[in-house]
């Protein structure tokens, strides 16, 4: 399976959004594979990590996020469930679940309700090792402002998560302990 071919079915290869999405996917994949090297004893699926990291944000084009070149109709927070809708018909169910479960550091039903997010009322937390690794790796890189070439620090990530409550901070800190 070639993630770039799938991305090209939804993004023009010469567009800013395509370049941004691919660059971000590559950054997340590189970080995810570095984490996999540190937890090799847990037997992470490296091929899947690379593919899913490249595809985890495929749903952004359906969101109304002009700063990313996206002119869709959905709020950005919906890009995970939209990605799932794109990948499930391709029978990429494991990849689809990464899309849904990576938003933030995963979301609980209570967090969806508390923040009045326009999402289905179900837990969308990473379940598998690979989902956790990609969700963790994704937090280090931004797509805003053309995507930074340097990773955010753990302290910067935690500071950003604090505004959404303790649940996400605790999930992320547990991953820091496990993956660093």
Q: How many domains does the chain have?
A: 1
State percent of the chain over pLDDT 70.
Answer: 97
Q: Is the pLDDT of residue 80 over 90?
A: yes
pLDDT confidence bin for 142, thresholds 50/70/90: confident
Q: Is the pLDDT of residue 11 over 70?
A: yes
- Exposed/middle/buried for 121, CB within 10 Å: 0-12, 13-18, 19+? exposed
**pLDDT of residue 176 exceeding 90:** yes
pLDDT of residue 137: 97
Give pLDDT, residue 12.
Answer: 95
Q: Give the containing element (helix H, strand E) for 71.
A: strand 70-71
User: What is the pLDDT of the chain when averaged over all its residues?
Assistant: 95
CATH number for the domain harbouring residue 152: 1.10.3210
The model's pLDDT over 90-107, given as tens digits with 9 standing for 90+, comes to 999 999 999 999 999 999
**Residues 25 and 54 sit within 8 Å (Cβ to Cβ):** yes
Check if the beta carbon of residue 161 is closer than 8 Å to that of residue 102: no
Show the tokens assigned to 119.
Answer: 């999402």
Query: What range does the domain containing 13 cover?
Result: 3-179
Confidence of residue 149 (pLDDT cuts 50, 70, 90): confident
Q: How distant, in Å, are the alpha carbons of 43, 98, 132, 136, 158 from that of 37?
A: 9, 20, 15, 14, 23
d(CA 10, CA 17): 10
> pLDDT band for position 81 (50/70/90)?
very high
């Amino acid at each position: 399976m070639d993630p770039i071919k799938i991305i090209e079915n939804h993004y023009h290869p010469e567009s800013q959004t395509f370049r941004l999405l691919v660059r971000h996917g590559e950054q997340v994949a590189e970080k995810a594979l570095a984490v996999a090297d540190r937890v090799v004893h847990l037997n992470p699926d490296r091929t899947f990590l690379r593919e899913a990291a490249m595809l985890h944000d495929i749903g952004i084009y359906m969101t109304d996020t002009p700063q990313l070149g996206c002119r869709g109709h959905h709020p950005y927070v919906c890009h995970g469930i939209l990605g799932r809708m794109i990948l499930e018909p391709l029978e990429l169910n494991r990849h689809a679940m990464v899309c849904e479960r990576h938003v933030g550091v995963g979301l609980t039903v209570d967090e969806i309700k508390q923040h009045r997010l326009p999402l289905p009322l179900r837990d969308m937390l990473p379940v598998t090792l690979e989902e956790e690794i990609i969700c963790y790796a994704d937090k280090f890189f931004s797509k805003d402002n053309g995507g930074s070439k340097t990773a955010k620090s753990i302290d910067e990530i935690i500071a950003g998560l604090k505004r959404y409550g303790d649940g996400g901070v605790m999930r992320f800190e547990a991953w820091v302990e496990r993956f660093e």
